[in-house]
Structure 1
Amino acid sequence: MRRFDLKEDISLLKIVNRGPEVVETNFWELEMAREGFFYLSFNAGAGRFLVPPALQHMVKDMIEKVDMVILTLGQLRGKLSYEILFEDHSDSPFSIHIEAKQADRILPESDCDKEFRFTIWTQQGKQADFPCRYRKVDRLPCLKPWDH
């Protein structure tokens, strides 16, 4: 049995864009999706969060009562990672941590505090669209509300 190689799968990943929209992608057929890895792509001022089929059940928790997403970059267990916090103003908002290599880029410092769109995609298409703010911290998890 072939050992899964995330880096190799990412090199095979194809996303066709129409501005911020994902028109077509082979993500759903790649082993990274079958293995349950999320992928974060940026295009035309939007973050697009691709949810693997096995984890589609999480989408309800991602979008329920959420009014914004807070994307935070920092170190998690010695690896550069993103924290995606789905802000619902509760004491325990839903959040996901992914390694930065599960994204097509590291957002620059100049994007901190700026608002952009954050969309959630499954194999069935776009599931949600939220405003998003970006910040950098030294260490994750951060899990703090937006306080700027």
Structure 2
Amino acid sequence: MISIGNNGEEIISTNYWESDVAKRGFCYLSGNAGHWRLLIPKSFPEAVSEFRKVREASIEPSIAIKGHIDVIAEDGSSSPYCISLSRQMIDRSLVRKRCRLLVYSEGELVTDIPLRVQV
């Protein structure tokens, strides 16, 4: 089970980085204080790079995998980078709204960008 210590929307501690799911390359989406945090394992450097480049992200039902959601790095192109997540990799229910997405990799905050949740 993934545990996360919070300070508002910020993550101050988590066992995710040492977890089997992180070691297998799975991302994790956690909500707190009205915002979302995307945890990207070190085995996924292209995801970190893509989310660093953009000024906005969105969460939508996946168009590729039924029952999953896509976290999309909105770059203005017709084929933006996205990460598909199963509902088991999300720690709470998604609600349609605008908020912030904090992207973490190996415990470090990579970026903090506006987010549209459209589920």
TM-score, normalised to structure 1, is 0.74
Given candidates 84, 91, 103, the residue that maps to 1:97 is 84
Query: CA offset at residue 67 of structure 1?
Result: 1.7
Contact 2:17 2:41 (C-alpha < 8 Å) held by counterparts:
yes
Residue 61 of structure 2: aligned partner: 73
Aligned partners of 1:36, 1:84: CA distance in 2, in Å? 16
Asked which structure has the greater CA Rg, the reply is 1
Write out aligned runs for 1:1-148 (5 A). 11=1, 13-64=2-53, 66-73=54-61, 77-78=65-66, 80-107=67-94, 111-112=95-96, 114-136=97-119
* Structure 1 residue 45: Cα displacement: 1.0
Q: How many residues align?
A: 119
Q: Which runs of 5+ in 1 are unaligned?
A: 1-10, 137-148
User: TM-score normalised to the size of structure 2?
Assistant: 0.91
Structure with the higher strand share, 1 or 2: 2
**Other structure's SS at 1:53 match:** coil
Deviation of residue 76 (structure 1)?
5.3
List, as ranges, runs of 4+ consecutive aligned residues in structure 1 with deviation greater than 2 Å: 73-78
Q: CA deviation at 1:77?
A: 4.1
Distance 1:133 1:62 in 2: 14
Deviation string 1:91-135 (CA, Å, 9 cap, x unpaired) is 22111111111010121xxx32x2101010011410001110111
Q: Which amino acid aligns with 2:84?
A: H
- SS at structure 1 position matched to 2:22: helix
